[in-house]
Chain A
Amino acid sequence: MSTTNKPIKSGGRPGRSLAILTLVLIAMTSLVFIQGATSIRLGLDLRGGTSVTLQPRIAPGEEGKITSESIDQAVSIIRQRVNSLGVAESEVAAQGSGTNRQIVISVPGDTGRRVVELVGQTAELRFRQVLASASGIPTTADAAATPAVGVSADVNIKFAALDCTKAENRQGTGTDLPTDVIVVCDRAGATKYILAPAEVLGRQISKASAGLDTQGGSAWYVSLTFNDEGTSAFGALTNRVTSLPEPTNQVAIVLDGLVVSSPRITEAIPSGNAQITGSFTQLEAQDLANVLKYGALPLAFDRGEVQQVSPTLGADQLNAGLLAGALGLGLVMIYSLLYYRGLGLVTVGSLSVAGGLIYLLFLLLGKWIGFTLTLAGIAGAIVAIGVTADSFIIYFERIRDEMREGRSLRTAVETGWTRARRTILVADFVSLIAATLLYFFAVGGVRGFAFTLGLTTLIDLVVVFVFTKPLVTVLSRVAFFNSGHPLSGFSSKSLGTIVAKEA
């Protein structure tokens, strides 16, 4: 190898780097306390909760409907619905880009089932007159022989054949056209209906709320207020059906292709203020009010993934993650101490500094950008222990190589650094590319992993430059190391060569 011996720089000012790092650490710690960010925000998989990922349902030729605006609108409607549950720290956010977007809903605690049902109701809400109804099982042929008024024979046959006890008929397709006469099931699968074309739409409702009627016993009801357009449409509808025989005097509230409720219209309602009464429980009434209020989403969605984690499992996963981290860190430290002896202390110190920086950053980012630590994120951080320690090894081995070429420790620390620095930069940059691409292409948990992996790689660079290198420079001036003490990691025995003593 032909290396020209350039004049060796003194190694910069190691003391200054270390002082700056100490100041940064102190500043970050104070920020943590000033901002009150003293605990890491944990993801739902670590503390229990429900997360639902919704995918827009794209009908052929309708790809253009999925725009930033429509997704944002859907997010705000779903957020209102979720907030109505009153669970603190619930989150609704859009992910991805183009037609390939998802909405991720995270609600901590054990409200699981209600969240899933609430956010799942995503298509447009419509009011339709009931033309016929029957129990949810397929009816016999003679019942199908007498179609109700305004019902074609085709529809009547479909109605007779419909089996609402079959799950696939309760999926709620949301593909019904407002102008069609439709055949649908109710949500429980107990009743099936033939419904007239839609006359009032969800967006014509201006207000809906649940209330308790204290006078007539303790019955829950839902009150509704329509806007101008809705008032006249609903007025006309109620006026027409109220005097009709059962079941044509009912108006079905249809959401996502399923009947949510089919109240009987007892009087014409021209005022635009209606009340739905029935044997509601409080929850049912509130949920129905929410559906009415926030029912109209601009897009239909499919549930991509639903995850319910109990607090017990959350705690188990958190403990397992922390244990794996401690174990991994411990093993790496022990290995470096055994292999690199005194130099291993530098690894221990550097890993501790990196760990401290990461912890402080997790705290601050939780406050600033709502960063939450998930199990995949913990795994990313643990894997990064390896990447971080790898940079130290590249540097240490480089120093040893330089000493094998006959350089003194003080010189080797500097020449080794200029070469190791480049290797570390290139290798870390490849890691960063991997983390960035993972982050942008990935869904859900993967992003958490990619984020922590990327962040820890950056921290690795910072630590190697402002802590490890300056520390080694300082140590190379200490007699214990540059005299090649057997425990220093630089003895001629561990190098397998004769070490030139510092002149």
Chain B
Amino acid sequence: MSKMSGLGGRLYRGETAVDFIGKRRRWYSVSALFILASIAALSLQGLHLGIEFKGGSSFTVNKATATIEQARNAVEATGVPGELIVQKIGNDKVRVQTGALDTVQNNAVQDALAAKFAVSVESIDTQIIGPSWGKEITRKAIYGLIGFLIVVMLYLAMAFEPKMAIAAIAAVVHDVFITVGIYALVGFDVTPATIIGFLTILGYSLYDTVVVFDKVRENTRTITSTSTKTYSQAVNHAVNQTLVRSANTSLIALLPVGSILFVGAGLLGAGTLKDLSLALFIGLAVGTYSSIFIAPPVLAQLREKEPAMQALAKRVQARSGGSVAATVVSTDAINGRGPRNQPKRKGRK
């Protein structure tokens, strides 16, 4: 642990530095690969939607001796239409999922299961979802997502800089894509609880990005009046300075989420807790990655396009004899625009 703190000190002073900005093509490629894989998985396999989205009924019998075959036979004997999915949940539960049924059919299935396993009808946990319900939640989730992105973008643009807002939102969109992709790839069930998880990730991912950007803003407030660092270098330094903080906040955030996942998946077997925490767990990991590897490079790229920053980069380059490690300004840009920015050279020491 104390080794990590020592690292924190070195990172803070810039003695140890990871080049997050300069090697951005590498990070972008990694993310692009993931996003392509996500799109492929989405279009080929699609998401494994829970009955909440398709309509259907789910019946869970709490009896240790119940087997899948018994449950399947009992339900099939009622002659309900559609395909049955029968699963063992945890050690002592069997869950039967059917297509959309009406009240009479639902009652028949409940009665059949109750009779088969000698339990009361009331002890069977039942969930019945109407066919139009899924559309409703999906629509609301999408409204929520769009509303969230707009409001947060406006807020960040006001609290920070418009370009920071763009970079932060780019990172969030990246997170959503990859998380959804992982769901499609692995085939985890998507339930309303998963959607809650998705939406919460957005807030979380931004939380991390906000912490990094806050440091960036502090480091770059007076940057154009100096010529020691390019904007990209300043961003890179900020990311390195906040690295220990980011690692700690992410780890601390993952601990409780991991606990829910452990208890939800291990003890309950399935349900709200598992679905929610799985989405959060995956999203948090992706969100931490994007707040370090995606948001800052995107921001640096956006800002480096500004004439003032290009002039700065040129000054820094001239000063250090052309060996600037982390600059992202292409020489074309400098050659093309350099002369116009000549007057700003007066800031040079």
Which residues of A lie under 8 Å from residue B141 when comparing CB positions?
441
Residue pair A386, B203 in contact (C-beta under 8 Å): no
State in angstroms the CA–CA spacing of A304 and B100 once bound together.
Answer: 11
Q: Check if B73 is an interface residue, CB within 8 A of chain A.
A: no
Is there an interface contact between A496 and B8, defined as CB atoms closer than 8 Å? Answer: yes
CB pair A375–B129 under 8 Å, yes or no, is no
Docked Cα-Cα span, A331 to B254, in Å, equals: 10
Q: Is B285 an interface residue (CB 8 A)?
A: no
Q: Are B5 and A494 in contact (CB under 8 A)?
A: yes
In the bound complex, do residue A308 and residue B126 qualify as a contact, i.e. CB atoms below 8 Å apart? yes
Interface stretch of the complex, out of B180-188, B206-214, B296-304, B323-331: B206-214
Whether the pair B264, A438 counts as a contact (CB closer than 8 A) is no
In the assembled complex, the Cα of A414 lies from the Cα of B126 at a distance in Å of 56
Are A332 and B159 CB-contacts (below 8 A) given A1-B219, A310-B62, A443-B136?
Answer: no
Does A458 sit at the interface, judged by CB under 8 A? no
Please provide the chain A residues from 103 to 126 with a CB less than 8 Å away from any CB of chain B in the complex: 110, 112-113, 116-117, 120
Chain A residues near B259 (CB-CB < 8 A) = 324-325, 327-328, 331, 382
Q: Which of A23-31, A127-135, A358-366, A389-397 forms contacts with chain B?
A: A389-397
Residue of B nearest to A111 (CB): B122
Interface: A446 (CB within 8 A):
yes
Nearest neighbor of B10 in chain A, beta-carbon distance: A496
Q: Are B192 and A445 in contact (CB-based, < 8 A)?
A: yes
> How many residue pairs, one in A and one in B, have C-beta atoms under 8 Å apart?
272
The yes or no answer to A259 lying at the interface (CB within 8 A) is no
Contact between B127 and A305, CB atoms less than 8 A apart: yes
B31 within 8 A of A: no
Q: Mark A31-60, 1 if CB is under 8 A from B, else 0.
A: 000000000000001000000010100000
Binds B, one of A148-156, A203-211, A267-275, A333-341: A333-341
Question: Cβ of B35 < 8 Å from any Cβ of A?
Answer: no
* Chain A 291-307 interface residues, beta-carbon cutoff 8 Å to B: 302-307
Chain B proximity mask over A369-385: 1 for CB below 8 Å, otherwise 0: 00000011001001101
Given contacts A113-B110, A170-B104, A327-B262, A394 and B249 within 8 Å (CB-CB): yes
Q: Does A312 contact B (CB under 8 A)?
A: yes
Tell me which of A9-17, A137-145, A428-436 binds B.
A428-436
Chain A residue with Cβ nearest B199: A438
B196 with A446: CB separation less than 8 A:
yes
State in angstroms the CA–CA spacing of A335 and B248 once bound together. Answer: 9
A430 with B206: CB separation less than 8 A: yes
Q: For this complex, into which size category does the number of interface residues on chain B fall?
A: 35 or more
**Given A302-B132, A310-B124, A379-B276: A443 touches B140 (CB 8 Å cut-off):** yes
| Given A167-B104, A375-B273, A383-B280; A328-B255 close (CB under 8 Å) | yes
Specify which of A304, A446, A494 is in contact with B130 (CB 8 Å cutoff).
A304
Q: How far is the CA of A388 from the CA of B326 in the complex (A)?
A: 35
Q: Does residue B222 face the partner (Cβ distance < 8 Å to A)? A: yes
B138 to chain A, nearest CB (A): 11
State whether B256 touches A386 (Cβ < 8 A). Answer: yes
Q: Once the chains are docked, how many angstroms separate the CA of A394 from the CA of B242?
A: 9
Closest to A102 in B: B136
Given contacts A494-B6, A495-B5, 11 further A-B contacts (CB under 8 A): A167-B104, A170-B104, A302-B130, A306-B128, A317-B273, A386-B253, A394-B211, A394-B245, A426-B160, A430-B207, A449-B196
Q: Which residues of A contact B (CB under 8 A)?
A: 1-2, 45, 53, 55, 100, 110, 112-113, 116-117, 120, 167-168, 170-171, 187-189, 302-310, 312-313, 316-317, 320-321, 323-325, 327-329, 331-332, 335-336, 338-339, 375-376, 379, 382-383, 385-387, 389-390, 393-394, 397, 400-401, 404, 419, 422-423, 426-427, 429-431, 433-435, 437-438, 441-446, 449-450, 453, 493-497
21 contacting pairs across A/B (C-beta < 8 A): A1-B218, A306-B126, A306-B127, A307-B126, A308-B124, A308-B126, A312-B62, A317-B273, A382-B256, A383-B256, A386-B253, A386-B255, A386-B256, A386-B257, A397-B8, A434-B203, A437-B151, A441-B144, A496-B5, A496-B8, A497-B9
The 4 A-B residue pairs with the shortest CB-CB distance, nearest first, are: A496-B9, A328-B256, A434-B203, A110-B122
